[in-house]
A and B are shown apart, each in its own frame.
Chain A
């Protein structure tokens, strides 16, 4: 019989990779279901870009409207696509994280044996899925009602660019989620999201904005994602795509750094 002071130390078997992978998938699946059923999120995330696209891309201008050589309805798939990706990513990660962090659910997850990274990966996967849904819907609407003609290769490239482009905004969402309370997160995101979208030329094409704003747009990450999307069919400002990718990568790293500070602050402060 062991003495009273000897602690039992069973050997903990490390989790096999396949099981870890299964947890990541399950976590992502349920994160997606959680958000899909939360109509405040799913309807707004999908609804706003689609509504704007229908109003400004399809109703307001005819099938043949064009800016220079660029077909208007095609151009707006890229910009409203960027707008939709941003919304899905920011609201998906920041609002969820701020609420779950502030109201104790994240702590329950952190006390469980869940691999901590699975929690964040699930949020990003969910945001990317919603991003893909929004872009696909815009594409279907544009093709059927707006006279948009994209080759299969262009379609895949546009979708891929925008879905990968949700990463910087997921990172931004995590940073916001770590520094906002459960009640203020949505308001803060709206305050950032809407002006940022306008100034990056996502609502009204950049060439219709004042010169000063056109120059200012170069400082904004959504502008760079929109330019990458536009470049798929040659509708952008003809700048090097490398610059756009570099700006987005740099922005992602900065946001992840800020999120990490928030994460560590939380870990140190957990209070009882």
Chain B
């Protein structure tokens, strides 16, 4: 068989030709008039951790829902182990952690786990689940008495208790403090080391970088970039300069390397690919420049940088 260009590119991202556990293939999903996903290809190879990285509203949760059979694609195909995830029994090999506003508050931690364990053919013993999610000391507490971090850990416990091969974690560390986040990362790493396959969504580049074998960047419902954490980081190296200057917005915007300029009271917020050349130019043209701050780009800036690099990828413009 002659490899097409697409095949070659695909091989680059999955150097170990592992069998795929879950896949979205050419998936488009429209909700009424809104396009949530457009021709998305997403592959999760066995034993790897794939991070789906994107800002809020990029389509991450829609992709997760498609893989769980909670919604059906407008076109394209969805594959998970065992067939179509719309059938409840097919989901016996998937553990899932989703964002939820409210969980029944009057059940105890161990009761929640007991119930979810019963859905799976060979669940972990209760004690093991409690240990993985670090809930041993609070197993008799009712859900309503838990702290935010403990609640999140229970939701994680519900994902792992069935001992599934594939874990789908939708923003698992949202709202956690730094320490809890790192502890959860450790647990997720252990799962992958034990041979589990994980698909994780996040809007933290740092989180994707810390955990993933492969990062898929999604924005406006389309895949914006895909690669190893090192590749993605090198492409998302935007910086943000904040300063007071006499120069007009138009002048600053015309400097080479400037992606975007916003005014914020007397300050200018300048998004750039590289900080140093722009700073040099700024200082040269305006000796009164003051209050300079340079920060590394947030995810939004990273996307801007990524999508500019990808000019041939037909990225939809910002709304």
Interface of A with B (CB < 8 Å)? 1-15, 19, 22-23, 26-27, 30, 33-35, 37-38, 99-100, 103-105, 107-108, 110-116, 182, 267, 269-272
Contacts and interface: CB of A to CB of B under 8 A. Distances in A.
Interface stretch (B62-70, B251-259, B305-313): B62-70
Contacts of B62: 271-272
B46 A99 contact: no
Contact of B98 (A2, A38, A111): A111
Contacts of B79: 7
A38 B143 CA distance: 12
A113 B82 contact: no
14 contacts: A4-B14, A4-B17, A7-B20, A9-B83, A12-B92, A37-B107, A103-B101, A104-B99, A107-B98, A107-B100, A111-B98, A112-B158, A113-B91, A272-B65
Interface residues of B, number: 60
Contacts of B116: 112
Contacts of B31: 269, 271
B290 interface: no
A182 B100 CA distance: 14
Contact of B100 (A8, A105, A271): A105
Interface of B: 10-11, 14, 17-23, 31, 36, 43, 45-46, 59-65, 68, 70-71, 79, 81-83, 88-94, 96, 98-107, 111, 114-116, 118-121, 142, 155, 158, 162, 165
A72 B104 CA distance: 41
Given A12-B89, A34-B106, A272-B59, A111 B20 contact: no
Contacts of A111: 65, 68, 70, 91, 96, 98
Contacts of B82: 9-12
Nearest to A13: B121
Nearest to B92: A113
A33 B20 contact: no
Contacts of A30: 107, 111, 114-115
Chain A contact surface mostly: loop
A232 B10 CA distance: 74
B119 A112 contact: yes
Contacts of B101: 103-104
Nearest to B165: A10
Contact of A272 (B22, B36, B104, B121): B36
B76 to A, nearest CB: 14
Nearest to B100: A104
Contacts of B61: 272
Contact of B106 (A7, A12, A37): A37
A6 B107 CA distance: 42
Nearest to B17: A4
Contacts of B162: 113
B102 A116 contact: no
Given A270-B65, A270-B70, A108 B100 contact: yes
Given A4-B14, A12-B83, A30-B115, A270 B71 contact: yes
Listed from nearest, the 7 A-B pairs whose CB atoms lie closest are: A272-B62, A272-B61, A37-B106, A104-B100, A12-B82, A103-B102, A103-B101
Given A8-B81, A38-B106, A23 B93 contact: no
A3 B61 CA distance: 28
A113 B81 contact: no
